[in-house]
Amino acid sequence: MMSWLPENVSTYGGEVDFLFYLIYYITGATFLLVTVTMLTFLIVYRRREGRRATYSHGNTTLEIIWTIVPAIILVVLSFMSQASWARIKGHAPPGDVEVQVTSKQFNWEMTYPGPDGKFGTGDDVTLENQLHVPVGKVVRVHLRSKDVIHSFFLPNLRLKQDTVPGREIPAWFQATRAGKYEIPCAELCGFGHSGMKGWLYVHPADEYEKWVKERWPSS
């Protein structure tokens, strides 16, 4: 099952995958424990002539054990998850690159602030469905929506964040490997939801420089 996860190219993706594997092993072990116990009971305690079922109403010690043990495991999981959650969604590090991503039926509009680093000025450039970023840099994404709720999904970067009309929602990622990755919309947004996708281009440093020079030749 683990091999089905898409390749991770994000700095924090390893934390997400670690928690995924951890829960996978814990739940997998629990599932095996319960299933093997159940099948054993079904075989051993199947109806046989001359044997009467045990008359028992329960056992308080067992009740306490199987209440407290899962509770401890689950609370520990919560605290382990909390650290990563705060890092990914809570406090974003300062961005090396800033991009505005605006969703609309059925496209992603990526707006780059240009050399002045400010949005809403004359050197802004908007590209449809193309997100160009440098590898190894913190990218801050300002998510907006023009019509309905969409969801900005970067499977390889372990990032998903809904875009909500009327709000600007911050998100961030830092890619560890250059390449071209898909950006599907993950929230039902109408008849064109399927197929609403863009591309994330993670460039090596020199290639990114070249792309910036081509885009803003005057600077």
Single out the residue of 23, 96, 115, 209 in contact with another protein (rule: CB under 8 A): 23
Sequence-separated (6 or more) residues with CB below 8 Å from residue 190: 105, 106, 148
Sheet holding 138-145, edge to edge: 125-128, 107-112, 97-104, 138-145, 169-174
Single out the residue of 135, 184, 204, 211 in contact with another protein (rule: CB under 8 A): 184
Stretch that binds another protein, among 57-65, 107-115, 201-209, 210-218 (CB under 8 A): 57-65
Residue 88 touching another protein (CB under 8 A)? yes
Residue 25 touching another protein (CB under 8 A)? no
Residue 197 touching another protein (CB under 8 A)? yes
CA 191-193-198 angle, 5° bins: 145
Q: Which is nearer to another protein, 56 or 218 (CB)?
A: 56
Residue 144 touching another protein (CB under 8 A)? no
DSSP 8-class letter at 200:
E
Single out the residue of 11, 25, 61, 84 in contact with another protein (rule: CB under 8 A): 84
Tokens of 125: 């450039």
CA 138-142-143 angle, 5° bins: 130
Residues 1-20 that bind another protein (CB under 8 A): 1-2, 4-6, 15-16, 19-20
Residues 61-80 that bind another protein (CB under 8 A): 62-63, 66-67, 70-71, 74-75, 77-78
Stretch that binds another protein, among 114-122, 127-135, 165-173, 209-217 (CB under 8 A): 165-173
Residue 42 touching another protein (CB under 8 A)? yes
Residue 150, strand partner residues: 163
Sequence-separated (6 or more) residues with CB below 8 Å from residue 126: 109, 110, 111, 112
Residue 93 CB, shortest distance to another protein, in Å, is 15
State the CB neighbour count (10 A cutoff) for residue 218. Answer: 6
Q: What sign does the CA torsion over 145, 188, 10, 108 have?
A: negative
Tell me the CB-side half-sphere exposure of residue 175, using CA atoms within 13 A: 23
Are the C-beta atoms of 37 and 49 separated by less than 8 Å? no
Single out the residue of 110, 132, 139, 162 in contact with another protein (rule: CB under 8 A): 162
Single out the residue of 61, 195, 214, 218 in contact with another protein (rule: CB under 8 A): 195
Residue 68 CB, shortest distance to another protein, in Å, is 9
